Amino acid sequence: MDFKTVLQKVVENVDGAIGAAVIGEDGIAIDQFTTKADFDITAAGAEYSTIISSAKKASKSFGLGKTNEVLISTEKATMIMMMMEKNLFVTLALNLDGNLGRGRLELKKAIPELEKLI
């Protein structure tokens, strides 16, 4: 089992999922799986990591402690980011009509598997 296989399983189990990736907080993606050729998460790794660092800062400003998860809703997609061990996070991108609840569940299930591979 490798990162890509776990990510592929997540994407295939969620209606409307476009892609998933494991990214370091330094913005460099470790691995990804996408269903759309023009949707490249690795190319935007630094942007995902900026969002995570902004979220951490916001949690700190409001005294809410450690950040566990970030959800971004945009005009074209929804992105879920969940924190993992060792300054890594896993992200799943969905179409606007994607199954968000299922996406979060599958990501939560995948995290222990991904952490075993680190």
Partner 1 sequence: MADVMSEIEELKKKLSQNPDSLIFVPLADAYRRAGMLDEAIEVCKKGLEKHQNYTSARVVLGRIYSEKNMLDDAISEFKKVEAVDVDNIMVHSMLGNIYLKKKRYAEAIEQFQRVLSLNPEDLETQEKLKEALAAKQEPAKPESQPVEKPKVEEKSNQDPNEELQKSLKVAEIYTKKEEFDKAIEIYNEILSKDPENISVQQKLREVYNFQEKKLEKIKQKTSQVSKNENDKITTEDILVVMKDAVKETEKEVNKESEKIEKTESGVLFDSQKAKAIENILKDLTNTDGMVGGIFLQRDGKIVASVLPPDIDSSEIGKDIAQIVDKTEKSVLNMKQGKLNHAIIASESGQLLFTEISNGVLFMIGNEKINMGKMSYVLKDVVAKIKALFK
Residue whose token pair is 């945009």: 74
Count, residues near partner 1 per rule CB under 8 A: 47
Shortest distance in whole angstroms from residue 59 CB to partner 1: 4
* Residue ranges in 34-73 that form contacts with partner 1 under rule CB under 8 A: 37-38, 40, 42-51, 53-73
Tokens for 25, please give them: 């907080």
Query: Of the listed pieces 9-17, 76-84, 105-113, which binds partner 1 according to CB under 8 A?
Result: 76-84
Rule CB under 8 A: say whether 102 interacts with partner 1. no
Query: Which amino acid type is present at position 63?
Result: G
HSE-CB at 107 with a 13 A cutoff on CA atoms is 27
Tell me the backbone φ, ψ of residue 26, rounded to 5 degrees.
-85, 0
What gap in Å lies between CA 70 and CA 35, rounded to an integer? 22
Complex with partner 1: residue 9 or 56, whichever CB lies closer: 56
Residues that bind partner 1 (CB under 8 A): 25-29, 37-38, 40, 42-51, 53-77, 79, 87, 101, 104
